[in-house]
Amino acid sequence: MDKLSLTEKIKTILSKREFLAQLLEKPDLGTLRIDVNQAIEELDELIDEFNLTFPGEKLS
């Protein structure tokens, strides 16, 4: 996988993270809130690893 396709995939992941963050604002989420929080944490770790690997790469 080349750097450009990896960057595009990370950008897609970032958009999914925004959706999950909005989902957390819903009051009727119940126990699913735990899974959504875990997913956000794992996405954040993935994004951090990307930033460590490609420190100068802009994702926005």
Condensed to tens digits (0 to 9), the pLDDT of residues 9-55 reads 888 988 889 899 999 999 998 999 999 999 999 999 998 999 898 88
More confident residue, 57 or 19: 19
Q: Considering the domain boundaries, does residue 37 fall inside one?
A: yes
Q: How far apart are alpha carbons 14 and 43 in whole angstroms?
A: 8
Q: Considering the domain boundaries, does residue 60 fall inside one?
A: no
Instruction: Provide the pLDDT for residue 33.
Output: 94
Instruction: Provide the pLDDT for residue 56.
Output: 84
Burial zone of 46 (CB within 10 Å; 0-12 exposed, 13-18 middle, 19+ buried): middle
Q: How many domains does the chain have?
A: 1
Q: Considering the domain boundaries, does residue 30 fall inside one?
A: yes
Q: How far apart are alpha carbons 4 and 40 in whole angstroms?
A: 23
Q: Considering the domain boundaries, does residue 13 fall inside one?
A: yes
Q: How far apart are alpha carbons 21 and 2 in whole angstroms?
A: 29
Instruction: Provide the pLDDT for residue 60.
Output: 58
Which residues form the domain of 34?
3-53
Q: Considering the domain boundaries, does residue 7 fall inside one?
A: yes
Q: Considering the domain boundaries, does residue 18 fall inside one?
A: yes
Q: How far apart are alpha carbons 45 and 53 in whole angstroms?
A: 12
Instruction: Provide the pLDDT for residue 26.
Output: 92
